[in-house]
Amino acid sequence: MYALLGARAAAQRDLSVARIVERHVSSYLCGAYLGADVGTVPSVICQDTGTLVGYGSERILKSPLTGGPVRSWRLEMDGKFITPRQIHDSFYGRAHIAFGWAAKDKALAVPWDKLPEYFSSVIKDARKLYGPGERQLAYILGWITHVIGDGLIKSVAPGLDLHLLDGKYTPANRPIQDLVTFHEIGIKELKLDWLSLLSDLVDCPIEPVQAHYMRVGQAQGHLGNKFKAGWEPQDLNLLMEVMAENRRYQRIRNSRILKQLALKKTKVGLQCDQILSERAKGLKYGEMLELANKANFRHALWQMGEVIAEIFEEIVRLTPEMNEVWIGDKPNWKEIGSKWRK
């Protein structure tokens, strides 16, 4: 949702980045999700069915499918086995750059006020290092919205003061945020087709520039010159395998996410999944809506969109070549017709 709102705010300001997003919206959304959440891998395997379940390093003792036993999932590569926790510790901070680093790597975090410079360096490098294609730019822009949106809602950065059930960003608040965003805002107000968006997202290819902005590989380009610390070339092959697994597993997760977020009609109105209700300390869907309205949740989302657009604007200022993107609507059909129909 951060990405979709940020794109609309950027279009309102007539920023060139909005045109890139319009032409490559699926890659933009893929960057906003898998371009940052590299921990999108299974937790365990259900032994009764052989099905991959869970998310990342969460602890699961029984299969959510059968209630039966589970065994740990690990990524196999070159005869080695890498756990979800190792993937998280190695790459989560690198993808989120301003926060989320393992304790030993916290010094590599990029200060909030340095993020526009970091983002601009990545964009400048993209076409020089990875070819002239525009799709990768949309992917980078999507990733940027994730870093900014997560930073705001997790209070890593100033500018957002959202209190729902028991604080700012807590496990109990997450179901409320997800359900209200999905149904009330996404479907009802923005008319989004979530199935289509999620399906297109997982079909997007791996963008090599992701390894560059995560500083996995040889230090090079503007980014390597300005942010010299923390480059890890030895982890490049592992990261490529992880990114491939992200796409494989998200394809499985899509239907599960849609099923869990679905609402059911009951005699007392629409109700959400029981597990989500339990995570939200027993709140029913109607109570979640009341809480979100009381907390002015929509205003908080508007704030996120505005901050993302402001940072996009600063990136364009630092990267003037972004204004040279192909517009696509000039000359328009009327102008063409005035010359050709004679």
What pLDDT, on a 0 to 100 scale, did the predictor assign at position 162? 80
What pLDDT, on a 0 to 100 scale, did the predictor assign at position 243? 98
Give the pLDDT of the chain (342 residues) as one tens digit per residue.
999 999 999 999 999 999 999 999 999 999 999 999 999 999 999 999 999 999 999 999 999 999 999 999 999 999 999 999 999 999 999 999 999 999 999 999 999 999 999 999 999 999 999 999 999 999 999 999 999 999 998 888 877 878 787 777 788 899 999 999 999 999 999 999 999 999 999 999 999 999 999 999 999 999 999 999 999 999 999 999 999 999 999 999 999 999 999 999 998 889 999 999 999 999 999 999 999 999 999 999 999 999 999 999 999 999 998 888 766 777 888 999 999 987
What pLDDT, on a 0 to 100 scale, did the predictor assign at position 82? 98
What pLDDT, on a 0 to 100 scale, did the predictor assign at position 342? 79
Residues 6+ apart with CB under 8 A from 236: 211, 216, 217
What pLDDT, on a 0 to 100 scale, did the predictor assign at position 246? 98
Give the residue extent of every domain in the chain.
2-323
Enter the DSSP assignment of 82.
E
Is the Cβ–Cβ distance between 208 and 218 less than 8 Å? no
Taking the model in full, what pTM does it have? 0.95
Is the Cβ–Cβ distance between 275 and 260 less than 8 Å? yes
What pLDDT, on a 0 to 100 scale, did the predictor assign at position 171? 86
- Give the separation between CA 172 and CA 167, rounded to whole angstroms: 9
What pLDDT, on a 0 to 100 scale, did the predictor assign at position 117? 98
Among 178, 116, 173, CA closest to 148: 116
Q: How far is CA 292 from the centre of its chain?
A: 22
- Give the separation between CA 165 and CA 235, rounded to whole angstroms: 40
